[in-house]
Amino acid sequence: MQRIRPHLGLARNVRISNVWLLQHGDRRFLVDTGHPVERAALRMHLWRAGVRGRGDLDGVILTHRHSDHAGNAKWLRRVFDCPVFCHAADAPFLSGASAPPRLATPETPIWARVLCYVEDAFPARVAVDETFDDGNWKFGFRVFHVPGHTAGSSLLHHEPTRTLFTGDTIISGPPTFRLIERIRLSFDEFSEDGPRARYSARAILGDLPPTETLCSGHGPTVCKDAHQKLLSLGEGQNRLK
Residue 113's domain is classified under what CATH number? 3.60.15.10
Least confidently predicted of 171-180, 197-206, 229-238: 229-238
- Asked if residue 15 lies in contact with residue 47, where contact means CB atoms within 8 angstroms, the answer is no
pLDDT of residue 176: 83
- pLDDT of 209 over the 70 cut: yes
Q: Which of the pair, 197 or 235, is modelled with greater confidence?
A: 197
How many structural domains comprise the chain? Answer: 1
Whether 240 maps to a domain, the answer reads: no
Whether 57 maps to a domain, the answer reads: yes
Using a cut of 0.85, tell me whether the model's pTM lies above it.
yes
Helix (H, G, I), strand (E, B) or coil at 182: coil
Whether 241 maps to a domain, the answer reads: no
pLDDT in tens, 164-189: 999 999 999 988 889 899 999 999 99
In whole angstroms, give the CA distance from residue 238 to residue 2: 30
Range of the domain at 203: 2-235
> Backbone phi, then psi, for 231, in 5-degree steps?
-60, -40
- pLDDT of 89 over the 90 cut: yes
Beta pairing, strands 163-167 & 213-216? parallel
In whole angstroms, give the CA distance from residue 102 to residue 117: 8
Whether 38 maps to a domain, the answer reads: yes
In whole angstroms, give the CA distance from residue 65 to residue 39: 17
Whether 119 maps to a domain, the answer reads: yes
* Distance, C-alpha 46 to centroid of its chain: 18
Q: Which residues make Cβ contacts (< 8 Å) with residue 106, sequence separation at least 6?
A: none
Q: Which of 186, 183, 193, 180 is nearest to 215 (CA)?
A: 183
pLDDT of residue 236: 55
